[in-house]
Amino acid sequence: MTTSTASTSPGTGQSPEELFAEVCRQARSAARLASVEALLGWDEQTYLPPHGGGYRAEQAAALAELVHHARTDPAHGERIVRLADGPLGRSGPPEVAGTIRLLRRDFDKHARLPARLVGELAKTSVEAQQAWRAARAESSWGTFAPWLERMFALKREQAACQLPDRDPYDALMDDYEPDASWRAIATRFDGLRTALVGLVRDCTGAAAKPDATVLERRFPLEAQRRFVHEVAARIGFDFDRGRLDTTTHPFCTTVGPDDCRITTRWDERFLPTALYGVLHEAGHGLYEQGLPRDWFGLPPGEAASLGVHESQSRLWENLVGRSIAFWSWCFPLARQAFPEALADADAEHVQRALMAVKPSFIRVEADEVTYNLHVMLRFDLERAVVQGTLPVADLREAWNDRFERDFGLRPPSDAEGVLQDVHWAAGLIGYFPTYTVGNIFAAQLMHAAEGAMPGLDRDIAAGRFAGLLDWLRREVHAHGRLLGSERLVERATGGPVSEEWLVASLRRRYGAAHGL
C-alpha cells in the first residue's frame, strides 16, 4: 500500500494504536463467528437428533461463508498492511508486532484462496467423506479412488494459490504446522523409523511380554464416568470452563475462552478406551485453557501448531498417564471405582499391562510404539502424491507394500488399509505428520521438565500435577502462536528439536516393561 492509498482510505486519521484496536476488533469478530461454527460441529457429534444432519450442513456452510467473508474483507486487509508498514508493525512491543505479522500472514493466505476454490473444497470434502464411508463399508477402493483424485487435485491448486513459492506439500502442511519443511521432518522421521523397527522387533520377540488381560475385565460405565472425570479434574482440567461428553471419535474443541469441550468413548470391557481418550483430550484441553485468555481470538491466544497441540495431549496421555508414578497415585482411585475388576491387581500390574506392543492394521488402535510407523507411512505416501511422484491410482498397492515392509503384515482388506482414515477424504492432507511431530515435541518437553523439576516423579506419584502444568503453562501455553513451534520447543528445552528424546523415552519405558 502506498501512502497515497492510505491517505484516501477511511480511518487514516487514526493513531497506530487505534488502528491496531480496530484490526483486533475485526479479527476477534471473525473468531467469534468461527467459535459458533465450532459449537455447530460439537453439537453435531454429541446431541444432534438422528435426522438433523442435512440442515446442520446448511447451517455450518452458512457460518463458514460468514467467517471466510469476515477474514478476507479487503478493508480489513488494507488496515493490516498499513499497520504492518507502520511503527507498531516495524518496532512495536513483541506481542503487538507479532500479532500484526501473523494477522497479515493469515489474511494473505485466506485472501489468496479464490471463493470458487473455497466452495469446491468444502463441497468435495462433504461428498468425498460420504463416498469414503460407503467405500470403507464395502472395502471398495475402486469407488473411492476418483474422489481422492479430485481432492488431491484441489489441494494442489490450493497450495499453488496460497504459497506459490513453497514446495506444494510444505504449503499444505503450513495450515497445520506453520513454516514446517518436509525435508527436516523426513530426516527426523528416518532416524525414528530405524529405531522403532528395532524396538518393535525386540518387544515382540521378548520372552516376558506384558499381559493386558487385567484391563479387559468388567468396568461398569457409571463408575468409569466418575473415575475419568475425577482424573481429568485432578490433572488440572477446569470443569468450570469446560465439559466432557460422549462421541464415537474423541476430540477437543474450543467454543469460547471459558468453554473448552472434550469427548471420549466407552468400553465396559476395556478400561483404557475411555481413560486414555480422556487423558489425551484433556491434554489438548489443558493447552486451550492455558492460552492467554485476554488474547482469545488473536494469535497470542492461539495454539502454536497442531504438532505442539499434539505434544500436550501425548505428554499427558503417554508420558504421564502410562508411567509407574502416575499409577502409584491413580491405582487406589481406580480400585475404589472398580473394586471387583481390580481386586487382585496392583499399580505395577496395571501399568505394565498398558505397555503391550503389537503390530496391527488400524492406526487409531495402535500402541504407542507402532503408532508412529503408521503416521510415517501416510506422510511418505501423501507427500509422493502431492509432489507428483505417485499417482492416486497406485496408492493402494503402495500402501500395502509399504505396510508389509514396516509391519511384516499385509492388510487383508482396504478397510484395514488405505481406506481406514477419513483425513484425505476431508481434505486434511499434510495433517498426518503432526501426530508424530507432536510425539517428538512431547518427549523433548518432558525430558526438559524432568530436568527442571527433579522431584517430578514423586509429585506425580502423590497426585500433585500442578508443578508440571505450571511449567507447561509458562514454557508452552503462555506464548500462544507468537514463537512458532520449533522455536517454542527449542526455547523451552534449551536444544534443537530432535527425535532422539522420543527414541530414548520409548526404549527406556518399553524396554523395562519387556525385560529388555
Q: Which residues are catalytic?
A: 281
Which one, 257 or 438, has the nearer CB to its own copies?
A: 257
| Shortest Cβ 60–its own copies spacing (Å) | 9
Output the smallest distance, CB 248 to its own copies, in A.
Answer: 17
* Residues of the chain by 3-state class (helix, strand, coil), percent to 5: 70, 5, 30
In 3D space, the residue among 187, 213, 131, 140 whose CA is nearest the CA of residue 426 turns out to be 131
24-29 long-range contacts, CB within 8 A, separation 24+: 24/99, 24/298, 26/70, 26/73, 26/76, 26/79, 27/76, 27/103, 27/297, 27/298, 28/296, 28/297, 28/298, 29/70
Is 242 or 307 the residue whose CB approaches its own copies more closely? Answer: 242
Rounded distance between C-alpha atoms, residue 77 and residue 35, angstroms: 21
Nearest to 387 by CA among 217, 169, 173: 169
- Kindly state the DSSP code that residue 255 receives in the 8-state scheme: E
Distance from C-alpha of 292 to C-alpha of 352, rounded to nearest angstrom: 38
Dist. CA 450–CA 493, nearest whole Å: 11
Of 48 and 398, nearer to its own copies (C-beta) is 48
- In this structure, what are the phi and psi dihedrals at residue 239, rounded to the nearest 5 degrees? -75, -5
**Residue 212 buriedness (CB in 10 A; 0-12 / 13-18 / 19+):** middle
Residues at the interface with its own copies (CB under 8 A): 29, 32-33, 35-36, 39-40, 43, 47-52, 54-56, 58-59, 62-63, 66, 239-243, 245, 255-261, 296
- Phi, psi values for residue 196, rounded to 5°: -70, -45
Taking the complex as a whole, the smallest distance from the CB of residue 52 to its own copies amounts, in Å, to 4
Choose between 191 and 256: whose C-beta lies nearer to its own copies: 256
Biggest CA pair distance of the chain: 80
Cα-Cα-Cα-Cα dihedral of 175, 177, 182, 188, to 10°? -160
H or E element in which residue 433 lies: helix 433-452
Q: Within 13 Å, how many C-alpha atoms sit on residue 25's CB side?
A: 7
Q: Give whichever of 77 and 285 is closer to its own copies, judged by the CB atom.
A: 285
Residue 366 Cβ vs its own copies, minimum distance, rounded to whole Å: 32
- Alpha-carbon distance 244 to 263, whole Å? 5
Separation of alpha carbons 360 and 388, rounded Å: 29
Residue 55 vs 269, nearer CB to its own copies? 55
Q: How far is the CB of 259 from its own copies (least distance, A)?
A: 4
The smaller minimum CB distance to its own copies, of residues 61 and 161, is found at 61
Do residues 196 and 376 make contact, with C-beta atoms less than 8 angstroms apart? no
- Of residues 261 and 514, the one with the C-beta less far from its own copies: 261
